Structure 1
């Protein structure tokens, strides 16, 4: 007899001597039998996290340089966007947000879904759990002004004004030229920085890319029915962290650009 059988036999004999009843040996549950349950639990947890807590998004363009890196054909930043904070408050000037582009912002958007019904269904399922990007025009910009505020550019130093006060924007590195006296908002050769004034409707935001000379933001859409602003309902969440690539990992700052 094997040692295992002997041990089992000894245990049974001991139970009989002690007047007890030997319990039947429990068979270990098969890992392969449990695997589908584990996968299902993981998918449900991923769906809940992606829907209500946070999601990772890829930066595909240069509109937020140098804060966020992205360009055609390169490895763009992957950012973590948290969704909880704005359930208890609203975006503030200086926040970097991800939002669904209104119709006038999405005219050039091309669906990434397959024309094959089966593949498209698999893509939609993958999107629910974060394995496939959502099939919508999700954009990332910085909040400059909120509902009720008036935004315009520029003062005599080329700065954006909100309710007549200049903003402090240390993250802006690339912008259109502004030369007082020769290329400003009141010269024959007008600076491309100039816009407004625009009063932001209640429940809306005025947003701009940090790369001011290469961003199709609220300025670009100022002629639409919302004057370039976006509804608060379109906001998905706040960009808080660069997760990849490893060399660029770090938090995304949201400075108080309007001061006190």
Structure 2
């Protein structure tokens, strides 16, 4: 009887240990699923990661910088002149995507998972990043006698962020005179002579304006490389003298 009792207790201990491992694995799975779900919701509605593929925003943003974009705040506060924004191609701004050879399924699955939680940014090549110069209703003109852009008749001094070739003084080598529609923005790159921005797409259906629904959000921080981690300056003071459109 004693031997049978000992054997029974041993079986019960093994069963309890087995159940303990099952509970542990279940809890781990639940934690992973919740973490992925939270990361997905954050990426979709709050913050999203992108990398910089071109030099159009130098020296504010450099090629291969990784940035975070605030998707939530602008939905409540709107955008300001000077904001650096990421937006989906309105159509015709980017060349056709190159054909990419098939990759191993494991690599595809890994990138999909990293993109799901906001670590990878495989769609960065489908988006652009520029600085907002004109808001809905603004009258934006280039250039005045000093080579400055004017917004609603007020000149803006962009020297705080503008990158021009040596000897150039005009804020743009392309003249324009536009009034921004109610549901769009007018955007330019900081590296003005290396940026295919609103100026160069005035013959497209959106006439160079970026529809607000195409704007993902406002870029607010550089997260990589390590030595460049820091905030992204909107230089909003540049536009302090600009009056709202009538």
Q: 1:52 to 1:60 in 2, by over 3 A?
A: same
Q: Determine the C-alpha separation between the residues in 1 that align with 2:174 and 2:66.
A: 32
Give the TM-score normalised by the residue count of structure 1: 0.75
Any conservation in 1 of the 2:49–2:120 contact (CA below 8 Å)?
Answer: no
Matched with 2:65 is 77
Partner of 2:188: 208
Q: Tell me by how many angstroms 1:32 deviates.
A: 3.6
Q: What is the match of residue 242 of structure 1?
A: 222
Match 2:146 to one of 136, 145, 157? 157
Contact 1:114/1:120 (<8 A) preserved:
no
Aligned residue pairs, count = 221
2:161 aligns with one of 159, 163, 171: 171
Separation of aligned partners in 1, 2:102 and 2:187 = 32
Matched with 1:42 is 35
Q: Could you tell me how far apart the structure 1 residues matched to 2:95 and 2:76 are?
A: 32
Q: Is 1:221 equivalent to 2:201 in the alignment? A: yes
2:128 paired with 1:147: no
Equivalent residue, structure 2, for 1:18 = none
- Work out whether 1:259 is the aligned partner of 2:246: no
Unaligned runs of 5+ in 2: 1-15, 242-246
Please say if residues 176 and 213 of structure 1, whose CA atoms lie closer than 8 Å, have aligned partners that are also in contact: no
Distance apart, 1:161 and its partner CA: 1.2
* Partners of 2:56 and 2:212 in 1: CA distance: 21
Larger radius of gyration: 1
| Equivalent residue for 1:56, pick from 46, 49, 55 | 49
Residue ranges of structure 1 left out of the alignment (5+ in a row): 1-25, 71-75, 185-190
